[in-house]
Amino acid sequence: MAVTRLLYFTADQHVLYKATGRALEIEARFPADASGVATFRDCLAGLPKGSLLGLLADLAGEDFHEDQLPYLRGRDRQAVIQRRLSQRYRDTRLAAALSLGIVSSERRNERLLLASFTNTQQFTPWLDAIAEAGARLTGVYSIPTVAPSLVSRLGAQKGKCIVVSVNQAGLRQCFVDDGKLRFARLERITPMNAEALAILIRSETLRLIQYLTTLRAISRDAPPVNVIAIAPPNASDAWSAILVPDSRAVFRVVGSEEAERKVGLNGPVVGAQTEALYVSLAARKPPREQFAQSEDRREYSLWKIQRGIVMAGAIALGACSMFAGVRWLDVTGTRDMSANARQDASAADSELQRIVASFPVTETTTENLKATVVEFQRIAARTSTPDAALGFLSSRLELFPEIELDSIGWSVGQSPESAKGGGASATSSSGVISEFLEISGRMQNTQRSDYRVITELVQRFGAALGAGPQFRVLRLQLPFDISSEGTLTGDVGTIQNSEAPRFTMLLSRKLN
């Protein structure tokens, strides 16, 4: 955990705080003169090089000025802000521009709160000492710039609110509007009892509200302003009796213990007053707006970049480690599955050997038995019955009632190299087992002399048998010869008129 030190800077005395997590303690005190600078240098010499050190100012000499500039972004905006700061302040080394939001008018403008100190030279020797010691300057803050964060922690995120605290430098009042700092002032006070301090807070707060109303920061017909008063230890009851609400302000007294708990402090800081709340927030959750220039904070910016790279590398390493762990689990699971598979294979092989050992003794080898089984399976796959062929033939005969079959011949064997007949031929490769169906039939109710009708009917019947994917026609023989070599005479129907025309057909189907 990084240790951050903060120099609480007042007009009379400077206090060096050390923040570690939620713990806060005072390390040293320095007078606000040259001897204090020398002591501060000696203190920095005893710190590790590269220590984180910031500065928190609580001074009365503060300047706040509201301004507007055109809505810009990037370098153009930064250039315009620097020009406005140089026009407002002679020394811009400790000057800041706090954004108050966008103004919606005829053109978009951005409201800014320009802030600086009336005497910036008092910071120079202390900042030079920090740079010479090799420490990293985290930033130069002021109590007002930390006030919005404190107000948010105390439960007033929206609306107008004034937070009042009694610090070592005096009575601090900060006016916050919707989480944005608008005005702040510091009143030097002398030691007094709780009742007198509460009366002073009430009168000064009402004066501040009247001043803000004159500046039009608060409307005259606005509701009462919320005022949070942070009471020192054992002063909450006395303050609550005096700080009662009225038509201009609604006071809410918050005890120091409650404020420390909401801010995140472990407990009260010995030797510190309410400024410890601001110091803790500036050390752990510093505001984005601060007064130091980028040149003064260069070492700190580089450190943040290096830390970001280290964190990104650590995240990447963690992600890679998680991925490697997942992959290792996958590999482990795969190894277990492989081991189980090997065990199952070994058990199956043992069971096979046991079964084989129980077989009767044969006069041949295992390879011959395997070849015999394979050949038997091949023969069984090519073995067929005439049921399918007869069923197919029956379905086609239903479409041709004129045809009557005389004989059906079914056989299985190799197809011949060529088959001829009836103008149809087919060739089958040797070694291919096929199923053959040879049918012989006649045509009823048809004159033998009407050879055109006979030819057309037989050819349609053959086409119907060969149209399916199962059978193909190898040979078709008509009742007469209609080939180019034959002779068709006019007395074709005069011979044996009593006999019906007959035909013969041979079909083939390959077996799997």
The three-point CA angle 74-75-76 to 5° equals: 95
Q: Please state, in angstroms and rounded to a whole number, the distance separating the CA atoms of residues 43 and 27.
A: 10
From 296, 314, 349, the end of a domain falls on 296
Residue 461 lies inside a defined structural domain of this protein: yes
Q: How many domains does the chain have?
A: 2
Residue 322 lies inside a defined structural domain of this protein: no
**How many CB atoms are located within 10 Å of the residue 112 CB?**
21
Buried b (16+ CB within 10 A) or exposed e, 222-243: eeebbbbbbbeeebbebbbebb
Q: For residue 90, what are its two tokens? A: 């002679």
- 429 shares a domain with 283: no
HSE-up (13 A, CA, CB side) for residue 392: 23
Q: Please answer whether residues 276 and 269 qualify as being in contact, where contact means their C-beta atoms are separated by less than 8 angstroms.
A: yes
Least confident of 99-103, 273-277, 282-286: 99-103
Residue 105 lies inside a defined structural domain of this protein: no
Mean pLDDT of the chain: 86
H helices of 65-135, in order, are 74-88, 124-132
Residue range 365-424, pLDDT digits in tens: 778 888 888 888 877 766 778 888 888 888 888 888 888 888 999 888 776 543 444 433
Q: Please answer whether residues 393 and 447 qualify as being in contact, where contact means their C-beta atoms are separated by less than 8 angstroms.
A: no
Q: Which value, to the nearest 10 degrees, does the dihedral of the CA atoms of residues 126, 145, 72, 92 take?
A: -30
Residue 306 lies inside a defined structural domain of this protein: no
Helix axis angle for 143-153 and 256-263, nearest 10°, is 90
Its pTM surpasses 0.85: no
- 397 shares a domain with 258: no
Q: Please answer whether residues 495 and 480 qualify as being in contact, where contact means their C-beta atoms are separated by less than 8 angstroms.
A: no
Checking DSSP bridges between strand 180-187 and strand 109-117, what pairing results, if any? unpaired
Beta strands, E only, 194-353: 225-231, 249-255
Residue range 163-179, pLDDT digits in tens: 999 999 999 999 999 88
Q: Is 316 left (phi over 0), alpha (psi -120 to 50) or beta?
A: alpha
Q: Please state, in angstroms and rounded to a whole number, the distance separating the CA atoms of residues 233 and 213.
A: 32
> What's the CATH number where 502 sits?
3.30.70.60
From 296, 325, 358, the end of a domain falls on 296
- The residue whose two tokens read 């395997």 is 370
State residue 229's pLDDT score: 95
Mean pLDDT of 60-82: 88
**How many CB atoms are located within 10 Å of the residue 217 CB?**
16
Q: Please state, in angstroms and rounded to a whole number, the distance separating the CA atoms of residues 16 and 197.
A: 27
Checking DSSP bridges between strand 95-103 and strand 23-31, what pairing results, if any? unpaired
Q: Please state, in angstroms and rounded to a whole number, the distance separating the CA atoms of residues 183 and 144.
A: 8
* pLDDT confidence tier of residue 252, bands split at 50, 70 and 90: very high
Mean pLDDT of 345-360: 86
Q: Which domain holds residue 495?
A: 387-510
From 296, 331, 354, the end of a domain falls on 296
Residues 6+ apart with CB under 8 A from 407: 439, 440
Residue 239 lies inside a defined structural domain of this protein: yes
Residue range 13-33, pLDDT digits in tens: 999 999 998 899 999 999 999
